Amino acid sequence: MLGHKVPFGYCEKPGRELFCPKIFQCWGANSRVHSYIQQKYSPEEIERALKPPTPKLTTLVELIQKAKEG
């Protein structure tokens, strides 16, 4: 939650490839949202959108390794 009411369109901001990963936390009680997401996005897109982000430490270690290599 953002601390206040937001329109559903905010969850699919223009320019964003996929929907906000917190969409079901905010709109979870609304079964129409689940149906809409399943109709609009493929199972792979849904999985990608809901995948937790890579931990920052992991990203940092990967960047350091790339810098050392190149």
- 45, 18 contact by CB (below 8 A): yes
What's the confidence (pLDDT) of residue 14? 76
> What pLDDT is recorded for position 26?
86
Tell me how far CA of residue 15 lies from CA of 12, 18, 40, 70, in angstroms: 9, 9, 16, 32
Distance between CA atoms of 14 and 23, rounded to whole angstroms? 15
pTM of the model: 0.66
| In the chain, % of residues over pLDDT 70 | 96
Confidence of residue 70 (pLDDT cuts 50, 70, 90): confident
pLDDT for res 46: 95
Environment class of 68 (CB within 10 Å of its CB; exposed 0-12, middle 13-18, buried 19+): exposed
